[in-house]
Amino acid sequence: CGSPSILILPDGSYLVAHDIGGKHDRAGHTLLHVSADRGATWRPLAEVPDQKWSTLFRHRDAVYLLGTAAKIGHLIIRRSADGCRTWTHPTDAQHGLLAEGRFHCAPTPVIVHGGRIWRAFEQFAPQAPVRAFRAFVMSAPEAADLLDAASWTRTNQIAHARDWLDTRNGEWLEGNVVVTPD
């Protein structure tokens, strides 16, 4: 059980998502549960296969899961408009497959600011050791179709320089978008 994400829905219920890791037969699935009593008891809602390291967020009367495909690491987003019982499938660039490749993230916050929706990610450097990440941020206009890859813009990717933090094991990992006071 990993990568927890929680969202308070408009009716006051709590929605939680987490993925399953390890060598379990359901590894790479994300489970969703809901609580109507502020977390005292939970009821299962859905199980979403091939979804990992994902953040729950609500936008325009729908709930979204934004993260990676578990098996390969493509950037994907899913939407539920029925109380999180069913979810869209990221089959292509118009239906939630935001980018193909080997990406990484954690269930870090989705930020809505300046008319855009923002989220941080990392991509594995090509032909690099297992954990050589390059950090970047993606954003989409609030009014856009969030399942359409063409709605999203990516910043350039920044590789970590070990001497920035005077460490031999430094790397970018699980970054966040933060709105500063100014």
- Please state, in angstroms and rounded to a whole number, the distance separating the CA atoms of residues 151 and 149: 5
Residue indicated by tokens 């790397």: 171
Q: What per-residue confidence (pLDDT) applies to 24? A: 84
pLDDT per residue as tens digits for the range 33-50: 999 999 999 999 999 999
Band of residue 81 on the pLDDT scale cut at 50, 70, 90: very high
Mean pLDDT (the chain, rounded): 92
Q: For the segment 118-160, what is each residue's pLDDT rounded down to a tens digit?
A: 999 999 877 665 567 889 999 999 999 999 999 999 999 988 7
Instruction: Please state, in angstroms and rounded to a whole number, the distance separating the CA atoms of residues 63 and 70.
Output: 20
> Average pLDDT for residues 8-26, to the nearest whole number?
93
